[in-house]
């Protein structure tokens, strides 16, 4: 029946608490039972790590964001005088949620990716924007893809950490057997860092975790899962709630993709 595609399934959702609502709502709307087990806590970075790179950026520079949370942290770390610097900047966002976070602050997005990840965003930036001074605002666990690929394309680009990550204090995979009643359909991961966080707290249940099917938000997360020891991995093409639901449905149906599929 429509709205019950995941009826009877049980999922462990490890996405950070402040970003989990949309995924949780989409899954439960389809009949899934979702246990929230945030792996990482996302907190603001240091003010100077955002302000100093921005103040040294020339006019018509490019600001690149790959997370809506980082957009929020970026603006919260600015001083009032910093906003004058933003008026001449161009903005790039990895997908619609990140772009919407920029627009909510009153700025137009010049390059909006399709949400499939950093590689696609870089290619779109290169096709739209001439090489210029750029900053990738990210987290301390963010990958160097943006900086590396834009640098290769002739951009002068640096990385600035607007967001810091730490393992969620309450994360305890050793209690999942008790807390998640019944068979677990799968564990949903949103980033390679969340995979590593879960394993860092897995203790003597580490090997048993590898037997649980997983859903990965993107190829990079899937590759991390496989490298760590998981084999049954379904990849969500994008990190939208709809794509996460589709990946869960495919996993229940037997799976269609592997980490390199």
- Which CATH number goes with the domain that contains 153? 3.40.50.10090
Would you state the pLDDT for residue 28? 97
Q: Where is the domain boundary, 147, 166, 185?
A: 166
Measured CA to CA, the distance from residue 259 to residue 64 in angstroms comes to 26
Does some domain include residue 2?
Answer: no
Question: Cα–Cα distances in Å, from 92 out to 79, 96, 200?
Answer: 22, 11, 33
Q: Is the pLDDT of residue 260 over 90?
A: no
Confidence of residue 3 (pLDDT cuts 50, 70, 90): low
Same domain (yes/no): 117, 186 = no
CB-based burial, 2-31: b 16+ in 10 Å, e otherwise: eeebbeebbbbbbbbbebbeebbebbeebe
What tens digit of pLDDT does each residue of 157-211 get? 999 999 999 999 999 999 998 888 778 999 999 999 999 999 999 999 999 999 9
Same domain (yes/no): 196, 161 = no
Does some domain include residue 139?
Answer: yes
Same domain (yes/no): 53, 155 = yes
Does some domain include residue 79?
Answer: yes
Would you state the pLDDT for residue 257? 46
Q: Where is the domain boundary, 166, 198, 222?
A: 166
Would you state the pLDDT for residue 178? 87
Same domain (yes/no): 118, 153 = yes
Q: Where is the domain boundary, 134, 166, 198?
A: 166
Q: Domain range spanning residue 217?
A: 10-39+168-252
Same domain (yes/no): 47, 21 = no
Does some domain include residue 259?
Answer: no
Would you state the pLDDT for residue 210? 97
Same domain (yes/no): 85, 148 = yes
What tens digit of pLDDT does each residue of 79-124 get? 999 999 999 999 999 999 999 999 999 999 999 999 988 999 999 9
Q: Is the pLDDT of residue 222 over 80?
A: yes
Same domain (yes/no): 50, 73 = yes
Confidence of residue 4 (pLDDT cuts 50, 70, 90): confident
Confidence of residue 261 (pLDDT cuts 50, 70, 90): very low
Rounded to whole angstroms, the maximal C-alpha distance in the chain is: 57
How many domains does the chain divide into?
2
Would you state the pLDDT for residue 256? 54
Would you state the pLDDT for residue 194? 97
Same domain (yes/no): 188, 227 = yes
Same domain (yes/no): 54, 153 = yes
What tens digit of pLDDT does each residue of 41-85 get? 999 999 999 999 999 998 899 999 999 999 999 999 999 999 999
Does some domain include residue 3?
Answer: no
Same domain (yes/no): 123, 209 = no
Same domain (yes/no): 173, 119 = no
What tens digit of pLDDT does each residue of 120-131 get? 999 999 999 999
Does some domain include residue 258?
Answer: no
Q: Is the pLDDT of residue 255 over 80?
A: no
Same domain (yes/no): 50, 156 = yes
Does some domain include residue 18?
Answer: yes
Token pair in block for residue 2: 């429509």
Does some domain include residue 257?
Answer: no
* Nearby residues of 1 by Cβ (< 8 Å), 6 or more positions away: 7
Would you state the pLDDT for residue 53? 96
């Amino acid at each position: 029946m429509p709205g019950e595609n995941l009826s009877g399934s049980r999922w462990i959702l490890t996405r950070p608490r402040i970003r989990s609502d949309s995924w949780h709502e989409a899954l439960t709307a389809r009949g899934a039972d979702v246990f929230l087990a945030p792996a990482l806590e996302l907190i603001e970075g240091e003010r100077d790590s955002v302000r100093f790179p921005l103040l040294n950026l020339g006019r018509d520079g490019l600001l690149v964001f790959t997370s809506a949370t980082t957009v929020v942290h970026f603006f919260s770390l600015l001083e009032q005088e910093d906003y004058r610097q933003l008026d001449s900047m161009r903005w790039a966002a990895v997908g619609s949620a990140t772009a919407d976070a920029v627009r909510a602050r009153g700025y137009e997005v010049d390059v909006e990716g399709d949400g499939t990840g950093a590689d696609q965003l870089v290619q779109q930036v290169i096709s739209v924007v001439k090489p210029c001074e750029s900053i990738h605002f990210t987290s301390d666990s963010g990958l160097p893809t943006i900086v590396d690929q834009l640098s290769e394309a002739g951009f002068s680009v640096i990385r600035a950490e607007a967001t810091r990550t730490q393992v969620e204090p309450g994360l305890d995979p050793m209690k999942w057997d008790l807390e998640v009643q019944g068979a677990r359909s799968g564990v949903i991961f949103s980033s390679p860092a969340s995979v590593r966080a879960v394993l860092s707290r897995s203790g003597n249940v580490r090997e048993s975790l590898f037997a649980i099917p997983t859903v990965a938000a993107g190829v990079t997360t899937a590759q991390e899962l496989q490298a760590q020891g998981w084999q049954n991995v379904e990849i969500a093409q994008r990190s939208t709630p709809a794509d996460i639901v589709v990946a869960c449905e495919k996993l229940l149906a037997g799976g269609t993709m592997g980490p390199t599929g």
